Structure 1
Amino acid sequence: MADPTVAALLEWQGSRRRHVLEQVEALTEPERRAARLPSGWTPLGLVQHLALDVERVWLRRVMTGADVELPLGYAGWTVGPDVPADAVLEGYRTECALADAAVVDLPSDAAPAWWFDGGEPPYDTLRDVLLHVLVETATHAGHLDVVRELADGGQRLVLDEP
């Protein structure tokens, strides 16, 4: 049986993942590839970043030591024009499923198995890593809310007038 803390955090993470996918899927193809902010990231680039730099790195590589390909620098944020949007979205779904499968049976106090250059990871337990992943995903979901509203006026949270 899964550790209740791990199960609860994965459930919350699943909700944030769905939020990310809903916002990007609601955008048109050109808007998925458009940079709306001065930093230059695109919604598809953000989804790929979450797949490779967050789900793959933190949950599969850091927590289990799995031998997975790691993106270098900002490669995770870059989606070429020849890469279909559906492939990026499906890649995210796949990485999320693999990440869940990698950690679901670990105890919440499991220590990370790997860190860059053999150094000390910034977090001591799976619980801490899951909280980091959850916060990062939620933060980026908020970024996508802004991009979505700028792109087509779509609002996930509609405030009533006072």
Structure 2
Amino acid sequence: MDHKTALHTYLRLRRAELLGKVENLSEYDARRPLTPTGTNLLGLVKHVATVQLGYFGETFGRPSDKELPWLQENAEPDSDMWVPANESREEIIEFHHYSARHSDETIEALSLDAPGVVPWWPEERRNVSLHQILVHMCVETARHAGHADIIRELIDGSAGMKANDANMPARNSEESAAYRYRIEEAARTADLQRY
């Protein structure tokens, strides 16, 4: 597998994991903020789709035809990080699919060393290559998929990349509570030993 195919594969996997975190949830749970900064699942999907469209579109002279009200000059700050009631979950998920298709076309059409310009980056860093942006978006998407992992676990206890994830040990509720208790005790002991 060549480098571009490997990076593109990782990006596609992280996209799927992120989208999987909003499956089988109520509208409330898909949208509700679970951190003091307002982090929420559907907002993460909207944000990743938005930045992906910019990085693989505008950066390489391939802007999309989508009008994004949350990026307009008069838009409220962080409008891409949450979903108002008048935007449906289906619209946001379809927007993510659209963003992925548009991005995939750019990735497939260009070589890894294809030049681009990120207009919102500082002048000294804005000249980039497709390789750099592919790495950037793999990291960006993985970071937000990790946020989504934690948010989903807080909502309903689901953990791992998908149901029956082989990377997660199978524990019943008693085993999970005992495991968490051991971690809590280790933290308390370490804190007491420090002083």
**TM-score (ref. length: structure 2):** 0.72
Specify the SS of the correspondent of 1:79: coil
Instruction: Measure the CA separation in 2 of the matches of 1:141 and 1:110.
Output: 27
CA contact (8 A) 2:116 2:128 kept: yes
CA contact (8 A) 2:53 2:64 kept: no
1:159 is the counterpart of 2:175: no
Which deviations, in whole Å up to 9, do the C-alpha atoms of 1:41-92 show, x marking residues without a partner? 321111111111x211111111234265562542212311111111111110
> What amino acid is the match of 2:53?
R
CA contact (8 A) 1:112 1:121 kept: no
> What amino acid is the match of 2:149?
D
Specify the SS of the correspondent of 2:128: coil
Equivalenced residues, count: 159
> What amino acid is the match of 1:153?
G
Alignment of 1:1-162 (within 5 A): 4-52=2-50, 54-66=51-63, 69=67, 71-72=71-72, 73-116=77-120, 119-122=123-126, 124-156=128-160, 157-159=167-169
For structure 1, which runs of at least 5 residues remain unmatched after alignment? Answer: none
Question: What is the aligned-residue RMSD (CA, Å)?
Answer: 2.5
Instruction: Measure the CA separation in 1 of the matches of 2:137 and 2:128.
Output: 14
Percent of aligned pairs with the same amino acid: 29
CA contact (8 A) 1:148 1:154 kept: yes
Specify the SS of the correspondent of 1:86: helix
Which deviations, in whole Å up to 9, do the C-alpha atoms of 1:132-155 show, x marking residues without a partner? 000010010011100111000111
Cα gap change, 1:27/1:123 in structure 2, threshold over 3 Å: closer, same or farther? farther
> What amino acid is the match of 1:146?
I
**TM-score (ref. length: structure 1):** 0.86
| Structure of higher CA gyration radius | 2
